Amino acid sequence: MYARRRHLYFAMMGICIGLFVLAWAVVRIWSVPAAVGMCVVAMLIPPVAAMVANRRGPEDRWWDDPSGDPESDEWWDELDGKKRPRS
């Protein structure tokens, strides 16, 4: 699932860069307003790409979910202040 999100992120960012380059290398020759419009669309892509790349999937572990390893979970609980330090 992580690989799919990463590929989608890079595809969206590639489209963003492509829109900027096309807008100012090609489209501006015929229509400056169209080039500006393409840049506005390209400007909206990076925040959406970041949200897509960072969303949590149904099988992803959340930061405070137990991992299943008792020693690791005990260590993290101690760091988070949920348990007293071992003596």
What are the tens digits of pLDDT across the range 23-34? Answer: 999 999 999 999
Amino acid, single-letter form, for residue 25: A
What gap in Å lies between CA 73 and CA 85, rounded to an integer? 13
- Mean of pLDDT values over 2-26: 92
pLDDT at 5: 85
Using CA atoms, how far apart are residues 60 and 80, in angstroms rounded to an integer?
A: 21
Residue ranges in the chain assigned as alpha helix (H): 2-25, 32-54, 70-80
**Amino acid occupying residue 70:** P
Q: Hey, where are the domains in the chain?
A: 2-57
Q: Which helix (H) or strand (E) holds 51?
A: helix 32-54
pTM of the model: 0.65
